[in-house]
Amino acid sequence: MVLQPTSMVFYAVAYMIIPMAAIWFGDEFGSFSSGWRLNMPTPGIMIRFIGWVLLIFTPLAVYAFKLRLELRI
């Protein structure tokens, strides 16, 4: 399957929405409560850190996977 440039841009923007929202609105995401028994808020700095990890390391992992496929290791 070959992706067209427009669909690649769409996928990239769609992927970046979640990490960018986690970085910008970390405190708000951390204050959400769930239906689980442990209902403590998550510190906003932790949510921001996870957003940065997703934003930075996922493209590196994709590049490494692509390189591995090209080298057939």
* Total residue count of the chain as it appears in this document: 73
pLDDT at residue number 29: 82
The residue ranking higher by pLDDT, 3 or 39, is 39
In three-state form (DSSP H/G/I as H, E/B as E, the rest C), the secondary structure along 42-65 is: CCHHHHHHHHHHHHHHHHHHHHHH
Reported pTM: 0.66
Cβ neighbours, 10 Å, residue 61:
9
pLDDT at residue number 67: 82
- Each residue's pLDDT tens digit, 24-67: 998 888 777 666 666 677 788 898 999 999 888 888 887 888 88
pLDDT at residue number 10: 81
The residue ranking higher by pLDDT, 8 or 66, is 66
Structure tokens at 13: 């923007």
